[in-house]
Amino acid sequence: MVDDTLGVDLLVLLGGLPVSVWIALALVVFAVASPSTTKARKLRRIPGPWVYAATRFRLSWDAWRARSIHAVLELHRQYGPVVRIGPNEVSFNSLSALRTIYGAGSGFERTSFYRMFDVYGHRNLFTFESGTLHRDRKKLISHMYANAVVLGPEFSPMIQKKVAEFLSLIRREPDHASEIFRSLHYFSFDAISEFVYGPDHGGTSALLGCKESQGLIADILNPARRRLAWFAIHFPVYTKWITTRTGLLERVLTSLGLMPMRKPFTYSGIRQHALEAFYSFKSAPAEVQVKAAENTVIGRLFKVRKEANLSDMDIASECADHLLAGIDTTADTLMFLIWAISLPQHQHYQDKLRDEVSRICVDDENNSVPVPRELTQLPYLNAVVRETLRLYSPLPAFEPRRSPIDTVIDGYAIPTGTVVGMSPFCLHRDETVFPSPLQFKPERWLTDSGALLPEADLRNRYFWAFSSGARMCIGMHLANAEMLTLVAALYREFRSSTKLPDTSPGITSRFEVFFDETMPKMVEHECWIDFSSPKDNNHNNIA
């Protein structure tokens, strides 16, 4: 049965168009939905509303309203774990499909969707469609992101230093730091920039008050970037043309409201910074480049550039992508975590967390910031982080893959070339695995004795915040180390409370907006938190 609201939404989308346009659209829908091929007949057996199967513009309309993955979740609740969401697109929501599509050696490859993340016109680890090209590039740098390396003596002090600088910002500029969407972006930006480029050739100092570094993330903070992402996905040729216009034509298009986003476009400032960082490193003395091979991503790529046949722009694109990938994801997760345990109804979670982290032994050598390696053993801290990643996954949207051959997934025939995929947003809201899925409940990751759940537990198998298989997030261990260390250090020293207890922060992820839907209000890219001493029962703001 088709949801009546789908027809209403379609009428809203198409209402007011000339008759000629209606006729053209009808012909397109008829052509797309025509059962003239074996592929079409196979896909017609997959459950889902006819309007989504007939035209890709129905899901595009959901995306325009920043609600496409929410719409897909509702379709799964109505039709089950397999649902057709486009003429050539199928969404799944099961462990068996997860293993088939994303498991090691699955053969499913990325689609052209990811080309929007190319940098300087060159592909990188994130945008390679070919599994072979991805594997070859990943081998060059994967050891940099290994857990033992991230938690080792090279990078652990860097993480502690950035955490100490964040705490210092709270003490030094409480009014500035209390808007944590912005201040946490300073933290993640400073950390990943030094990890990728080192402190002297691209490392930033936003936490220390550098206006240039702080200004670089201005285009990230602009929520209008999701509109640009929507156009880039659904109308790539038009987007490429219109965003490259300059001079009078650009001003006219902007004044008419036809430009998807006013300049500077999203990430443009950071990409320029990354390019300058590349050339700065390239011109550095040979001994500096050799030394950097052990403690920066760019140094490692320079070391192997000849044998790996890497061009200058291959290296620049790869480094810029790692930089960009490490900013929003870590900052957004930390923001939601701090906000969630700052709510009045969640203060008991904050108290449990503070009790656990207050028993850590620290030394003054690292500004009393805990050692990242030791934090991996704290069950409640890890449970709080894991629950945040479940409920507020920083990349919650649909991850498309293309079927290389005719195959069967969850009992349905999937023809070659069909786009299939899943999303953390849907998987993490399966009520049979996570009862009351919209509630923030860290204890769902703990056994009755208070230990973390064993890896084999069904809840862990459904946890998909970092993807899985060969395409699993390469920066997972670095992100975890940053989050665990900042949260532990923060709640050893401060108590937090939200200034707006009825308002959820919202984040932009591609062309979607994600927030806590149990809250009556939402504000995008803004979150105000008061920090106080744990001994201060009045929760007065730090001065």
Q: Which residues are annotated as a binding site for heme?
A: 473
Distance separating alpha carbons of residues 181 and 177, to the nearest angstrom: 9
Is 99 within 8 Å of 422 (Cβ atoms)? no
Question: Is the bond preceding residue 264 a cis peptide, omega within 30 degrees?
Answer: yes
Tokens 């899943």 map to which residue?
422
Q: Please enumerate, as own/partner, the contacts of 59-65 that have beta carbons within 8 Å and a separation of 24 or more.
A: 59/85, 59/86, 59/89, 60/230, 60/234, 61/9, 61/10, 61/13, 62/9, 63/230, 63/233, 63/234, 63/511, 63/512, 64/230, 64/511
Other beta carbons less than 10 A from residue 111's beta carbon: 17
Residue among 421, 418, 426 at smallest CA distance from 87: 418
Sign of the four-CA dihedral 232, 67, 267, 89? negative
* C-alpha to C-alpha distance for 382 and 451, rounded to whole angstroms: 10
Nearest to 322 by CA among 373, 394, 283, 270: 270
Could you give the CA distance from residue 132 to residue 308 in angstroms, rounded to a whole number? 14
Q: Answer whether 482's CB lies under 8 Å from 373's CB.
A: no
- Residue 22 CA to residue 302 CA, distance in Å, equals 55
Alpha carbons 98 and 427: distance in angstroms, whole number: 10
Task: Round to whole Å and give the CA distance between 338 and 533.
Answer: 15
| 117-122 contacts, C-beta under 8 A, 24 or more apart | 117/321, 118/317, 119/271, 119/274, 119/316, 119/317, 119/320, 119/321, 119/324, 120/271, 120/275, 120/313, 120/316, 120/317, 120/320, 121/313, 121/317, 122/311, 122/313, 122/314, 122/316, 122/317
Q: Considering only CA atoms, give the Rg of the chain.
A: 24
Write out the DSSP string of 283-325: TS-HHHHHHHTTT-HHHHHHHTTTTTT--HHHHHHHHHHHHHH
| Burial classification of residue 29, based on how many CB atoms lie within 10 Å of its CB (0-12 exposed, 13-18 middle, 19 or more buried) | middle
State the binding site. Answer: 473
